[in-house]
Every structure is written in C-alpha cells, then in structure tokens.
Structure 1
Amino acid sequence: MCEMNSVGNVPSSILVTGGCGFIGTSLISALLKMSPDLHIRVLDNLSTGSEQDLAGVAIFSRLSVDAAADAQSGVVFIQGDIRDADIAMKSAQGVDCVVHLAANTGVGPSVDDPRLDMDCNVIGTFNMLEAARVNGVRKFIFASSGAPAGEVEPPIHEELPPHPVSPYGASKLAGEGYCSAYYRTFGINTVCLRFGNVYGPRSKRKASVVAKFIRQALHDDVCVIYGDGTQTRDFLYIDDLVQAVVLAIGGSVGGETFQIATGMERTVGEVANIIAKALVRRGVEMQIRHDSPRLGDVKRNFSDTSKAAHMLDWRSQMEVPEGIERTLDWFLGQT
C-alpha cells in the first residue's frame, strides 16, 4: 500500500460531497487514519455510492441537513443533492473545507444526457461554491479532469488553452472557471485537481476502463474496447490520488489548477492486456472485442504533472501493473 504522508494543516472539519463513492470513501478512510477525531460531513444523493460503502470506512450518523449543520464531531451523512441550493447551503455551515467530488462523471453519460451533466457539474458546483462563500469556508477542492483540455497534443498541462470535446469536458471547464472567479473575487482558496483515469480498490461501481474490464471479466462478460485500442490514457492509482487531495486540503495554495496523474501514456489495449494476464494467473479468462469509437472520446491523453510536484510536493508512486494486481485482489475479495 502507498504510504499516506502526515499533513499537519488539515482542518478539523471537512465537507465531502459525493463522499459515498469510490474516491470519497477512499479519501475519508485516509483522513480518519491520519486524524481519527476529524469531523467529516458527507453529502451524497446515493446515485452511485451507498451508505454501506461509507460504513465500510467509517462509523457515521445519518442526519437531516438541518441537524447535521449543528454537528461538530464524528462522521455525519446527509442524503441530498448538490443541485438543491438550500441543501448545499446548509451542508456547508460550520465546516472549514469543502472537497467537492460529487459529479456526473464520464464522457459517455454526458453525451447521452448533456443537460443532466450540466445540471450536476455546473449548477451543482456553483451551489457548493456559493455555499462556501456565504458560510465563510476558506478552502474548496474541486475534482476536475483532463477533459477540459480536449483534443490537444499531450502531455496536457495547466497552461494549454482548453478546447473540450465532450459535454463532460465543458461542464468541468465551467467548474474550473467558477473556482477561479471565487478565488479572485471572494478570496476562497480554491484548488482544481484534474484527475487522471483513476482505478483501484473500492471501484466496484466505476465505469472507467480498469474497473469495468475487471467487473466484466469476473462475470464472464465480453470486455468491449471502443476503437482499435490505441487511444491512450493516464492511469492513476487511488492511493496516489488521495495523497494529492490531502496535500491540497492541508496546503496554503489557492486559485490554482493541477494535473494529477502519472505522466505515463498507456494505450487502452495495453492496459486490457495487463488485466487479462493478471486474470489468467488467477484462473480467469478475459474476452475482448472491439466496437466503434465513442463520440466525445479523445485519441491521446496523458499529463505533465511537474506543477503538482513543484507546488504540492506530490508525485505518483504506484506502477500500473502492481496497481492492477492490488485492484484485482480487492475485487476477488468481494466475491
């Protein structure tokens, strides 16, 4: 397991939106290991994660948003939606930091329903930023993506002019824009983290490549690669991502955007083969077929992470083959 560094400046009270999901539960687990007395408020509509997922990493109380606003200790869960401005406002009362993970994620869903994607990722993010402003929250961490950059010659870095291809990229770019405005106008220390293609334990419901292929193979379903498999992504292990979020929470940086990835370009076909070989060693055959490329997908995507290394003192540690082995072990342990 990657070692989680201790960060002394982590605030005592944190709101995590989307905290029942894959990244949220992984972050909460790491934060509580660092500081068991931390007050964590979780806002989630349970569209993807579940209370059982949260219970796997924390003992929590389920409260109404009004009751949760008065809670000052322990882990508290609020079932609610970031698109509801009143719930967003009340959920941020009395916290020191908002980690905004809740979103409509992925290119495919945004192409299928662009309006839903906009409602969640633009209106929802605006609601949380406005809640932070009104409630005097000084730190706001925004989960973004490489998608705002669009079809550009990689490696992607923070100074590239954005040209999003998908509605998802456009909605995340809007979130980044509002974070910039709320830093420069209202003084909230916003930090936008552009996550790579995240994988790892607890990703049982994630729809991206690694988790989807493992899930399909273990159910004896055919794994579909859209296109010829030469499209590239930057695959980031969950522990490395969580460490970046923790450093952003505890650091003094504000008004910045960071690429959080490995800086390594791997094709989807290559990663599928790594998964297939790891499955064979466990007695499982993986069936692969190719289908037409998806609308909104970019051909190449990997990141230059030098800014995060310089300003956050963050670097990824996990190599993809080892990360996939650990992810597979977790999936097999769930069956």
Structure 2
Amino acid sequence: MHCWTDLAEVPRGFGPSVVTIGNFDGVHRGHREVLTRMVADARAAGTRAVVVTFDPHPRDLHQPDRAPQLLTGVTDRLQLLAETGLDAVLVQPYTWEFARQSAETFVRRFLVEGLRAVTVVVGRDVRFGWQNEGDLTTMLELGERFGFAVEVIDDVTPAPEAGTPRRWSSTWVRELLGAGRVAEAAQILGRPHRMRGVVVRGDARGRDLGFPTANMAGDSAGMIPADGVYAGWLTRTGGRAASSRMPAAISIGTNPTFDGAVRRVEAYVLDRDDLDLYDDEVLLEFVELLRPTMRFDSLEELVATMTDDVAKARVALGV
C-alpha cells in the first residue's frame, strides 16, 4: 500500500481511483466492511482504492477542548487500513491552510486533479470544506460537474443476533474503553484494543516485588482504558530486536498503595524477569479486565493479589 503525507507525493497520472474520506480512528469492523467492499468494487472496475484521512484529528484544530481520545496512532491506523487491501492512503496534515479551502477547491485539487477519482464513497452525513460548508448535496453537485460518481453508504450495524441496533462507531469503542470493557470493545474493533509507545524507566517497584514491569511513555499512542488490571499481550516492535507476542498482565492507574499521583500504564510479561525493554517501542493489546485498581494495606497483600492477577491472566489468555 502506498502512503503519502502530501498531495505533491501522489505520482503524476495516478488513478483512476475510487476514493473515500474520513478519520477511520480504530479502523473498526464498520470501517473495514465499507473499505473491503470498496476495494472489491475498485478491483472489478480496474481502478485504485484510496483513502484520504487526516492527522491530527480535525477537532484538535477546531475544538481542542472537545477533541476525542484517538483509539489508534497513525502507525497502527495505516497498518490496519493496509489489511483491507487498499492501494493507497493519503494522510493529509490537517492545518489551518488546509481547513480554509472551500468545498469545491478541496474536491477539485484532491479528488479530481490529485487522485483522478471516478467514484467518491461517502456517508450521508459527510461534511467538508471551510466551516463544513460542503455536504452530501454539494458532493453530488460537484460529482456531476467534475464527472465522478458518488456512492452513498449507510451506517453499518452489528448482525441482528448481537441484540443492538447501534451502529459500529469509534465513539462506542471509546465509551467501552472508558468503562474498562475491553472485551466488548474488541467485538466492535474486530481485534483487541492496542497501545503503542516507548518503554521508559519507572520507580522499579515492580522489580523489587518480583514483577518487573515495562512502563509506557506518557506520549504513547492509543486511548488508555479505565484504571484497572488487564490480561493482554506485549510485543516488542522496535529497538534492538522485534519479538513475538508475549502474555502480560497490564496495570493502569496511579499506584494508590504508594500514594502515586501520576497515571501510568505498565505491563508485566508473565514469567519473564530477563527482559530489557528500556527505550524500545512495544505494542500492548488489552484482552480482558481482571480487576479494578485498588489500594492495599500491606506489601504482602499487594504481592498476593499480583500473584492472583498473573494466574487469572494465564486463564484469560490461554497460556
């Protein structure tokens, strides 16, 4: 899959293409259903399938106080988009200069001249251009003027047996993660929720207690679930050597037993006290909530509970 971060990087004469526009945060099952179908249609028509997405999220610019916690960083978003079979993704930097374009200018420059779109796939609530001046009617009118078809997609909802008419959405995933319901979030994502970041030095209390942990840097990508202890997986993705998935117990919270004030994400790889992960990039995947964060009256009680956490993590992960 080609990945461009500027319209100028798109090769001259690229296309013709089928294009869709969106943030695609999390690349959940609804996103993938639409994209997989789009890719199949593009293949049948002998065209390229392309996504135009944005970094940062537009609300970071327009409404920073209401900007959502992103489920995935750009690295994971691109990996997940690539899995749908797309030919290319344009990650457009979302700047004031870009945002101030008129709806017509955006369509002409990016979709028509840049990507040579023959079909543009949009939802009924599509908005684009300065101050969201463009909507579905605008896109249909511009399609007629510039010679591309507009395919309108409806919201994708779970199968009837799931018992809910609610559409797949990134907002729904955020609600579940905010409540610690990572197993339910995985049902919408089609995979475990993930975080990616560099391992930094912590207080080394875990090592002293017999459970050495990898502490994630504060700027790690991916929404942090609710405080608690989770069963999950850790994969070293960068640094001295990549590794296979390793089972882990992941703790999120402020370490109340030690009167901590800083919220941290740290992972203990089961049965491993020989790992040196400092300064390496790792991927964490959250499978199941084991318990909420608690304050303990003694170190003995804490260690006993951590030992129980590890046992429960083994069961949850099947290791």
Query: Normalising to structure 1: TM-score of the pair?
Result: 0.31
In our comparison, the structure showing a higher alpha carbon Rg is 2
Q: Which has the higher contact order (CA 8 A, sep 6+)?
A: 1
More strand by share: 2
More helix by share: 1
Query: Normalising to structure 2: TM-score of the pair?
Result: 0.32
